Chains A and B, each alone.
Chain A
Amino acid sequence: MMRVSARLPAFILLFLTLLVPLAWAQANGFVSERVIILWSKAIMQVDGPAGYTSTDAFFPPLPFVLSIALQWVSGGTAVPIPFLLSAAIGAMMLMMWYSNLRVNGGISTLTSCLAVALLALNPFFLRVLAEGPESVLTLMGTWLFARGIVNLRLTGNAPDMMKVAVGLLVVALSNAYGLLLCLGALPFMIVAARPSMLVASSVGYLIAMFYPVVAAVLSLLFISKIFDSALIPLLTEAPVEIPLQSHLVILAGLVPMAFVAVMRNMLIPHYMMPLLAAFGTVCGAYWLNSMLHVESDPTLAIAPMLAVLAVSIRFWPQLALREPIILALLALGLVLSLSSLRANPIAETRNWFYALAGSKVEGHELTQDVVSFLDGKDGIMVDVERNPEIVSQIGEIQNLIVAGDTVYDWALEGGILRAEYVLVQNTSDQTIETDRILRRYPALSENRMPSYSQVFSNVRWRVFKRVES
């Protein structure tokens, strides 16, 4: 009880502190696309119309389940639910890092506090926080994994093996990019393994280590199939060409510091080898991502290296000046990360940086306009899965006609469109429509749909109203 009573205030304080940069960025117009999608899905599942059925797969399941649970428990809040989750998981993770440094690493209280503060202030950590629970859980999963493989090398007992598995499972179930982290870990698990584990069978060792991830992915595919939802399209994102120079800028933020932290254990192979494996895992995943484009923002792809850094310093040998060097390294890492993110060319990360620096980021005003227009109107047909920002901005989601409602399903399956209002994206180009209503009724995009006339339009949205003939 004492431990809980001592930790709860610290958790609450950290939680509130982590909400500050999120609120500041939001106040300046930045809410990440993933946060919007997650929040809108949670709202639709819990508070949406009774008939609503999602056609997207339940992926990534862990952030979804947590978001839905929190939405259900809280009954909805003005603060985006994913932000609350990000801050809560982030606070929990920082407390675990502190406990790991202080208790397991034997580092003094002051240095542990300062080290955790430097890690929390690192722009990569804040960027992860702003991206939502998917990325925060990926960071936490990487930390569990990295910690697990070091302990597994030391003890070889079942809980440490389970920690590695839990870490891999958390990253795989929290983020599509987590699957790449698992793939990245594959060759390095042998490097990390205790030699006695490989004597009987290295294949058996690898199968057991990766079984949870494979089983989880197969289970997701099975669920996706029986519920007739689409999982595979959710696993990759649109490829963004990034020049080598930009990659180097992004990598310079964390990789050198993490490498130094790992190599500090050079003389202790049973620490260095698993830490090197964790380092290699993140590098491997980053490299795979540059080819497979699972995570469109490479900043987020390399962010799990922060967890490797946190684990590495905990295992540093107790030599003279250990603590000052830890703080100096983390401070230097913070400066490098700041420089890296300042020069970051990726749009969303750049917007986040501007927002955090106090500049206004544009993008949501257009949606706010259409939401204002629709205020008080009922029977609005919209593809919420392709336009999630509508859900998070609109006040009365019960007024929406969505997948699962008879009017919506009939209209999309060849029946007559009967909705009072139809809200679609304003797409003037010839690209393939993602909005399913526009795909079914292309005449809407040309405003030539019989019985419907356009009553609102801006650069992003168009609203049509049914005209009684």
Chain B
Amino acid sequence: MALDAESEAIGTLLLDRGFLTPDQLFAAEDLAEDWGVSLVKVLLARRWITSDELYQQLAYHYDLPLVNLMADRPDDVLIRKYDPRMMNDFMTVPVGEKEGVLVVATARPGPATLLHVREHYGTEVNLVIASHFDLSWSLQRAFREQHSHEAVFALAEIDPEMSAQQVITPPQVLVIYLLVSAFLLGIAFAPIGTLITINVLLTVFYTGNFLFKAILVWVGGAAQESSSRSIAAEAALLRDDDLPTYTVLVPMFREPEVLPILTQALRNLDYPLAKLDIKIVLEEGDHETIDAARKLNLEGVFEIIRVPASHPQTKPKACNFALRYSQGDFLVIFDAEDKPEPDQLKKVVAAFNQSPDNTACIQCRLNYYNARENWLTRMFTLDYSLWFDLMLPGLERLKVPIPLGGTSNHFRMDVLRELNAWDPFNVTEDADLGIRLTQKGYRVGVIDSTTFEEANVSIPNWIRQRSRWIKGYMQTFLVHSRRPVHLWRSIGPAGVFGFIFFIGGTFLSGLLNPVFWTIFGIWMIFGEDVISPYFPLPVLYLSLLNLLAGNGLLIYLTMVAPFRRRWTDLAPWGITVVGYWVLMTIASYKALSQLVFNPFYWEKTQHGLSKHTANELAEANLEAEEVKG
């Protein structure tokens, strides 16, 4: 797209005044043409000129006053009279009134903004220029309480059935009460029959769980090969000027050390930087990360969103808050230590283009860059390879609701807003949102693009992280099983069975495993006579089948998982997955205990423990310096 006249004029001004070298100007103009954006946007995405200098020159060019909204704080009451979404989208904020004339500050002066101002603020308006940062911060300050409240309670107030604010509903309590009563009555009057019945139910559940996972891997492994090729082909053909604005949310909490890795990974994305709307979402009180972010002197496309302190202090709440300041057509969440494959955003745009209209989210794969650091990272890598490379594509193929993974899920912004985004009371808000999307008639797709993360290297840290995930799965199960008939109608029988085995099976197997391990131990030590009253022959055979074939199958699936990435050296480690299951069991019981006593507590995973992270950090700093130079 040819450069517009305004961009040309601004470029000439900056060159004349010595803010840009001829080479920088030519490069900026080329980028502006390729990306289909204004020169100002390109300059904000580069560090050739500071933000202050740029806005000063814009004010000079348009012959408008430049205001500093940090020093001259605008009237919050006046700002709150207008729609925050509209102000955020157009970057215009009313900053005062003088003799009946409204003063509106903008970061994007020009004809389009003038039309917008006339339409929304009337004709009696004086325009002034302010930096994007100042405007955004003024909006955040003015709507602090409102947006903070909405971030926590919007879903619970508008769609309470879908919120985990109430951990368990009265009908669910009644069902549990009746089940426990039936169990106790059974134990009192027919103990052996009751135990056999429970045994049969659990054994059948285990068998179903094993079979379901095998089917998922079989189906999932074969899926995607052709669609991956067509998505990759379209992504390669996409023109930069056709690409939409993309919001990247990066919620962080006390992780200043990984900030350079993250920012460099985002710069490395094969996507026009000027079309990225990157929000680094930080808690208001997290001064060390805020300071670290400031010191990095990031490009204008990086914006820090400070989330007001409130309960619960969870990632979804922070994301909900930041969502109100997002400007993209699509949105993705990355964790601080994430390294997405450079073409991921383009592939997602291509995938959305090729998907049915009801596709609301595309989940990318997650894996680890420090897979071979120790036993735990190897097992974690096998676990993720099985989950993201094989099972999720299987769920997609079978049209079973997909519990989204923690990061790299890409949303259509309009749908995300329509559904009130994430549930801040659910500690696996992403998994919950995946199920909610399907219930609301939307589709979740899975594509072949990977984001590499840092695998947990420490067992206590892993247990903290996993216990949060399992607690979140318990919350998700409780939320979506509140209305079983509605669930059945909205996602169908396959969806319900998939939901039960995939969400329920994940935490139930962790809780039940020690029971069956104990029974097996008793059998081996004391002989068959001790357990035979509770295990009639058919049940014993089925249990034995689960023990040998079921567990053998799960071990095998774990070994198969890394083959897609040709990581054959990891396959033999699959044999030790039993040790990983023991850790899962510990995490499951911790999760259950937290669900009862501290349901909304967010167990923070500490990142940056890997020895690879130090190398990554050094590399990121080096690359950043090169870009700067």
Q: Is A156 an interface residue, CB under 8 A from the partner?
A: yes
Q: Is A199 an interface residue, CB under 8 A from the partner?
A: yes
Chain A residues lying within 8 Å of B559, measured Cβ to Cβ, are 207-208, 211
Residue of A whose beta carbon sits closest to that of B572: A207
Residue of A whose beta carbon sits closest to that of B549: A219
Residues B549 and A211 in contact, CB atoms below 8 Å apart: no
Q: Is B525 an interface residue, CB under 8 A from the partner?
A: no
Partner of A161, one of B560, B567, B572: B560
Q: Is B109 an interface residue, CB under 8 A from the partner?
A: no
Instruction: Tell me the complex Cα distance, A223–B568, Å.
Output: 31
Residues A162 and B221 in contact, CB atoms below 8 Å apart: yes
Please provide the chain A residues from 155 to 176 with a CB less than 8 Å away from any CB of chain B in the complex: 155-162, 165
Chain A residues lying within 8 Å of B556, measured Cβ to Cβ, are 165, 208, 211-212, 215
Residues B569 and A162 in contact, CB atoms below 8 Å apart: no
Partner of B568, one of A155, A201, A211, A216: A201
Instruction: Tell me the complex Cα distance, A169–B220, Å.
Output: 21
Residues B221 and A159 in contact, CB atoms below 8 Å apart: yes
Q: Is B168 an interface residue, CB under 8 A from the partner?
A: no
Q: Is B566 an interface residue, CB under 8 A from the partner?
A: yes
Q: Is A198 an interface residue, CB under 8 A from the partner?
A: yes
Q: Is B218 an interface residue, CB under 8 A from the partner?
A: yes
Q: Is B570 an interface residue, CB under 8 A from the partner?
A: yes
Partner of B572, one of A157, A204, A216, A219: A204
Residues A208 and B574 in contact, CB atoms below 8 Å apart: yes
**Interface residue tally for chain B (C-beta within 8 Å):** 29
A197 to chain B, nearest CB (A): 6
Instruction: Tell me the complex Cα distance, A159–B222, Å.
Output: 6
Against B, the Cβ 8 Å flags (1 = close, 0 = not) of A133-159 are 000000000000000000000011111
Please provide the chain A residues from 189 to 219 with a CB less than 8 Å away from any CB of chain B in the complex: 196-205, 207-208, 211-212, 215-216, 219
Please provide the chain A residues from 6 to 65 with a CB less than 8 Å away from any CB of chain B in the complex: none
B548 to chain A, nearest CB (A): 4
Against A, the Cβ 8 Å flags (1 = close, 0 = not) of B503-537 are 00000000000000000000000001000000000
Residues B217 and A212 in contact, CB atoms below 8 Å apart: no
Instruction: Tell me the complex Cα distance, A170–B570, Å.
Output: 26
Residues B566 and A158 in contact, CB atoms below 8 Å apart: no
Residues A161 and B566 in contact, CB atoms below 8 Å apart: no
Instruction: Tell me the complex Cα distance, A368–B153, Å.
Output: 84
Q: Is A222 an interface residue, CB under 8 A from the partner?
A: yes
Instruction: Tell me the complex Cα distance, A156–B560, Å.
Output: 11
Residues B548 and A223 in contact, CB atoms below 8 Å apart: yes
Chain A residues lying within 8 Å of B566, measured Cβ to Cβ, are 156, 196-197, 199-200
Chain A residues lying within 8 Å of B528, measured Cβ to Cβ, are 226
Q: Which of the listed residues A155, A158, A159, A200 has the most CB atoms from chain B within 10 Å of its own CB?
A: A158
Please provide the chain B residues from 535 to 575 with a CB less than 8 Å away from any CB of chain A in the complex: 544, 548-549, 552, 555-556, 559-561, 563-564, 566-572, 574-575
Residues A158 and B563 in contact, CB atoms below 8 Å apart: yes
Residues B571 and A205 in contact, CB atoms below 8 Å apart: yes
Q: Is B200 an interface residue, CB under 8 A from the partner?
A: no
Instruction: Tell me the complex Cα distance, A426–B528, Å.
Output: 39
B156 to chain A, nearest CB (A): 41
Instruction: Tell me the complex Cα distance, A222–B544, Å.
Output: 10
Please provide the chain B residues from 385 to 416 with a CB less than 8 Å away from any CB of chain A in the complex: 390
Please provide the chain B residues from 168 to 227 with a CB less than 8 Å away from any CB of chain A in the complex: 217-222, 225
Residues A158 and B564 in contact, CB atoms below 8 Å apart: yes
Instruction: Tell me the complex Cα distance, A207–B549, Å.
Output: 18
Q: Which of the listed residues A155, A157, A212 has the most CB atoms from chain B within 10 Å of its own CB?
A: A157
Residues B568 and A212 in contact, CB atoms below 8 Å apart: no
Chain B residues lying within 8 Å of A158, measured Cβ to Cβ, are 217-218, 220-222, 390, 560-561, 563-564
Residues B570 and A204 in contact, CB atoms below 8 Å apart: yes
A108 to chain B, nearest CB (A): 25
B569 to chain A, nearest CB (A): 4
B205 to chain A, nearest CB (A): 21
A182 to chain B, nearest CB (A): 15
Chain A residues lying within 8 Å of B218, measured Cβ to Cβ, are 158-159, 162
Which B residues are closer than 8 A to A by beta carbons? 217-222, 225, 390, 528, 544, 548-549, 552, 555-556, 559-561, 563-564, 566-572, 574-575
Q: With contacts A165-B556, A207-B572 known, what are 17 further pairs, Cβ within 8 A?
A: A156-B566, A157-B221, A157-B564, A158-B218, A158-B561, A159-B221, A161-B221, A162-B218, A199-B568, A200-B566, A200-B568, A204-B568, A205-B571, A208-B560, A208-B572, A211-B556, A216-B552
Report the 5 A-B pairs with minimum CB-CB distance, sorted nearest first.
A158-B221, A201-B569, A208-B571, A219-B548, A204-B568
